[in-house]
Amino acid sequence: MSIQSSQKEKDSKSDNGMVRGLQNRHVQLIAIAGTIGTGLFLGAGRSLNLTGPSIILVYLLTGVFMYLMMRAIGEMLYMDPDQHTFINFISNYLGKGWGYFSGWSYWLSLIFLGMAEITAVSDFIQFWFPNWPAWQIQIIFLILLSSVNLIAVKVFGEVEFWFGMIKIITILALIATSIFMLVTHFETPVGHASLSNITTGFQLFPKGWVSFVMTFQMVFFAYQAIEFVGVTTSETANPRTVLPKAIKEIPIRIVVFYVGALLALMAIVPWQQLPENKSPFVMVFNMAGIKWAAAFINFVVLTAAASSLNSTLYSTGRHLYQLAKETPNNRVMKALHLDRLSRLGIPSRAIIFSAIIVAISALINVLPSVSDAFSLITASSSGVYIAIYILTMLAHLKYRKSKDFLPEGFVMPAYKILNPVTILFFLFVFVCLFLQKSTVIGAIGASIWILLFGIYSNWKHKN
């Protein structure tokens, strides 16, 4: 008898009390759009300028390892679909010390990610309304998106569905524009659209191997938070059906949306001519005769940032709720009742508390001296994210040797080889953080946090 038939899944609530309100279409579109962040729309020019067409190889290679990590996470979540965070697997298989480290490090990393996103939102709004104070924009957006998360999980899913649709349509429009220009041999101010723009004079390291290696950490962070789709599946009616489908389609999404978009850009404009500090999407749509391209792409990146912030509030709330459930003796959490669900099955208090912490960024950006320190902390949190991914892979290795292992589940293939290789890749990306002036201080900060908080966490839970 198969696991699907032997274990009938609940339609309304999971074991942790949360409502299974997300539909399959919500999760599938979140899975597709969740890998598309503002980095693609705004940062593609910089990465293309560093290494040209070989950036495709970087995106594909990094995508392979992110997919392998998702297979490891997916295997454990399939075994226990009621988990709202993969961090619990670190506690279960590596010990409470590393679980405590990962739990709080992941929540703080998400909070800093949310702070960066809300700052970006205010910048995009000021494109149209330059006189509006940034802090007011940030507070209004936080209230709106917090409300979306507090009403019902189905409402969150619906909002994310349409946020994601906007990003997907934009990339498909770029690819369609590129095909049209190629077919018509469209003349641009810098030549004409042609596949030869990609292949002519191709070099693997056009600006040296160091520049090529540097792009790995840039591309890695474009994929950051890809694990979010695994978290959402626990709030679907049939997580063991939805989860494998969402993860298996990740490679197709990477090829279509990342590789497809980058090839489209380079086919229209030689990569040497693409703007480094401006969105290449704006340049291409302008060439296609769309005069309002800058405003349109600003709207798209605003949508992407709002989508990321919406997902961050979703994740931080559920993650903090889980931490509160696991530390019932914590006085602060107990006083704030962070371990309680609303009557709609939503961790509302944990979401509100997380939103309040994210709102501190509105104050930080008003104080220049504090803002500089905030930039350092945000950069450091990115390095900590890599450490959590590595711990997750180590937890998966332990899981495969445990009594919990489900041989008929959503099993990661060739894990004895692919799991350690994925860990080595994450270590390689961490080393890459030390190659750029913009990330080296954050890498040092991350190293200090991992060392000191890691020692403290394991000391605290040594018994």
pLDDT per residue over 304-347, tens digit each?
888 888 888 888 888 888 888 877 677 777 777 788 888 877 88
Q: Beta-carbon neighbour count of residue 227 at 10 Å?
A: 23
Distance, CA of 341 to CA of 330 (rounded, Å): 17
pLDDT per residue over 317-328, tens digit each?
888 888 888 776
CA distances from 323 to 29, 32, 132 (A): 28, 28, 37
pLDDT confidence band for 5 (50 / 70 / 90) = very low
Cα Rg of the chain, angstroms: 22
Distance, CA of 129 to CA of 82 (rounded, Å): 44
Range scoring the smallest mean pLDDT among 71-75, 190-194, 394-398: 190-194
Helical packing angle, 348-358 and 96-125, nearest 10° = 60
Whether 29 has a pLDDT exceeding 70, the answer reads no
254 or 133, which is more confident? 133
pLDDT for position 373: 60
Residue at 154: amino acid letter: K
Buried b (16+ CB within 10 A) or exposed e, 38-57: bbbbbbbbbbbbbbbbbbbe
Q: Where are the domains of the chain?
A: 23-457
pLDDT per residue over 124-149, tens digit each?
898 899 899 888 898 998 999 888 88
Do 327 and 333 contact (CB within 8 A), yes or no?
A: yes
pLDDT per residue over 106-115, tens digit each?
998 888 888 8
User: Which of 98, 103, 107 is CA-nearest to residue 457?
Assistant: 98
pLDDT for position 1: 39
User: Which of 383, 379, 377 is CA-nearest to residue 450?
Assistant: 383
CB proximity list for 21: less than 8 A, separation 6 or greater: 152, 153, 154, 157, 235, 345
Distance, CA of 232 to CA of 154 (rounded, Å): 11
CB proximity list for 332: less than 8 A, separation 6 or greater: none
Strand pairing category for 191-192 and 187-188: antiparallel
CA distances from 343 to 109, 340, 346, 347 (A): 29, 10, 7, 10
Q: Which of 21-30, 43-52, 67-76, 371-380 has the highest mean pLDDT?
A: 67-76
Fold of 23-457: Amino acid/polyamine transporter I (1.20.1740)
Whether 213 has a pLDDT exceeding 60, the answer reads yes
Q: Beta-carbon neighbour count of residue 337 at 10 Å?
A: 12
pLDDT for position 437: 82
Distance, CA of 452 to CA of 432 (rounded, Å): 22
Q: Beta-carbon neighbour count of residue 335 at 10 Å?
A: 8
- What residues are paired with 297 via a beta bridge? none
pLDDT for position 65: 95
- pTM for the structure as a whole: 0.86
User: Which of 301, 320, 245, 261 is CA-nearest to residue 121?
Assistant: 301
Do 71 and 86 contact (CB within 8 A), yes or no?
A: no
CA distances from 448 to 119, 383, 441, 442, 451 (A): 26, 10, 11, 10, 5
Q: What is the mean pLDDT of residues 360-367?
A: 74
Query: Which two tokens mark 398?
Result: 């332990």
Question: What length is written for the chain?
Answer: 463
Please give the helix or strand (H or E) that residue 192 lies within, else none: strand 191-192
Query: Which two tokens mark 147?
Result: 């409300």
Alpha helices in 200-344 (DSSP H): 209-223, 228-232, 239-248, 250-253, 260-268, 280-287, 293-326, 331-336
**Cα-Cα-Cα-Cα dihedral sign, residues 426, 427, 432, 437:** positive
Torsion of CA 60, 66, 71, 75, to 10 degrees: 180
Distance, CA of 61 to CA of 39 (rounded, Å): 17
